[in-house]
Amino acid sequence: MAENQDGQEKSQEPTSKRLDDARKKGQVPRSRELNTMALTMVGVAAMMLMATRFSEGFESQFRHNLMLRREDLFDPNALLAHLVAAIQDAMIMLMPFFGVMIVVAVAASVALGGFNLSAEAMQPKFSKLDPIKGMKRVFGAKGLMELAKSLAKFLLVMLVTASVLWSWQDDIIGLAGQDIGEALVGGLRMVGWAALLISSTMILMAVIDVPFQLWQHKKELKMTQQEVRDELKQTEGRPEVKGRIRQLQREMAQRRMMQEVPKADVIVTNPTHYAVALRYDPDRMNAPVVIAKGKDLVAANIRRVGNEHQVPLIEAPVLARAVYFNSELNQPIPAQLFLAVAQLLAYVFQLRAWQEGEGEQPPMPEEFPVPEEMRHD
């Protein structure tokens, strides 16, 4: 297992924040072998496919720019014009090949680790000029792995090259007895196929290197348990601070809720454990709204504020529990409780009118019709 500078074991998988920070620093997995394999194989294959185009193009170049007229030999400007024309024609001819190679180079680079442009990685770091750190990189595990890969590539390419030359020795010797034109075409064909076969050996190196780079990248980003805990504290805050923040938020919410209690039309209670303050304005509301609710100490505070502001307190245990458990703060009551709350508000409005000297004292309803599915006995 890898260890950090303090000797702690890096046994934890990297977190998403650790991976994101690494990408911002330009630390993404990359495989040189994958890039080399893609460029060499596609480059050789593209040259073989475009061989006819190249041969015709170069033949045309030689015919028009090397077979000069007599008067061109005595004109310095004519020679310069032929050179410029030859360069332009060659660039136009080679442009498709260059385009393919650019696309392959970019695709192979981002195939492992994705596209990543890091400004921090592009900044100059003078620490990289430290010769001691440079020697550690050369003789470290990663440097030794690169040396092993280079030796393996050399031996593999040498073995494949020797095998190709040995298997084609008769064909190569046979070129000497052919016409120069046929020998040239055959020789070029053999060179192309030999280059393709030799470059295909890079597939094996890429197959080995890609998993190694992924493993190495993940290993370098592994974290100790202490690093995971520290990161959790940085991202989510310390538990005691978060608890204090939640407590303050609850206190602020309760203060705002208590400020709404004097606006209530009625407070229905359990009578001691639960209290719910309701408000209903027929001109602006489609249904009564719960503006405050609570239990135990909060319920006691709601009753106290209601008494101080002469808000009617009605003891209806079944209805109080039903509204408390089935409604949300600052939201209308459920439709199933409309009838029960309507009877409650009707009684309260009649009671208020009687207290103002209008009508007779209304009788207190014996029971409010709360549906069975809304009860919390």
* Residue ranges in 111-140 assigned as alpha helix (H): 119-122, 131-139
At 294, give phi and psi (nearest 5°): 180, 175
DSSP state of 314: E
pLDDT score of 127: 59
Cα torsion at 270, 271, 273, 274 (round to 10°)?
Answer: 50
Compare 107 and 176 and report the one with higher pLDDT: 107
Angle subtended by helix axes 338-355 and 317-326, to nearest 10: 120
pLDDT score of 299: 86
If one counts every other C-beta atom within 10 angstroms of the C-beta of residue 126, the result is 6
CA distance readout (Å), 225 to 12, 18, 41, 220: 6, 13, 45, 15
CA distance readout (Å), 311 to 9, 306, 360: 65, 5, 20
Look up residue 332 and give its amino acid.
P
pTM of the predicted model, to two decimals? 0.48
pLDDT score of 234: 67
Confidence of residue 141 (pLDDT cuts 50, 70, 90): low
Averaged pLDDT, 88-111: 86
CA 138 vs. chain centroid, Å, equals 33
Check if the beta carbon of residue 340 is closer than 8 Å to that of residue 370: yes
Cα torsion at 61, 66, 67, 73 (round to 10°)?
Answer: 140
**H or E stretch including 24?**
helix 16-24
CA–CA distance, 36 with 44 (Å, rounded to integer):
12
Check if the beta carbon of residue 278 is closer than 8 Å to that of residue 268: yes
* Phi-psi category of residue 356: left, alpha or beta, with phi > 0 → left and psi -120 to 50 → alpha: alpha
What sign results for the dihedral spanned by CA atoms 320, 323, 328, 331?
A: negative
CA–CA distance, 22 with 62 (Å, rounded to integer):
54
Confidence of residue 23 (pLDDT cuts 50, 70, 90): confident
- For 51, counting Cβ atoms within 10 Å of its Cβ (0-12 exposed, 13-18 middle, 19+ buried), the class is middle
Nearest Cα neighbor of 62 from 54, 70, 71, 74 is: 54
Confidence of residue 372 (pLDDT cuts 50, 70, 90): confident
Check if the beta carbon of residue 236 is closer than 8 Å to that of residue 242: yes
Place of tokens 């001819």: 93
Averaged pLDDT, 152-162: 85
DSSP line for 328-360:
-TTSBPPGGGHHHHHHHHHHHHHHHHHHTT-SP
Report pLDDT digits (tens) over 34-83.
Answer: 888 888 888 888 888 887 777 777 777 777 766 666 666 667 777 777 77
Strands (E), the chain: 266-269, 274-279, 289-295, 313-315
Parallel, antiparallel, or unpaired for β 274-279 and 266-269? antiparallel
Confidence of residue 355 (pLDDT cuts 50, 70, 90): confident
Report pLDDT digits (tens) over 219-255.
Answer: 888 877 777 777 776 665 556 666 666 777 677 767 7
DSSP state of 279: E
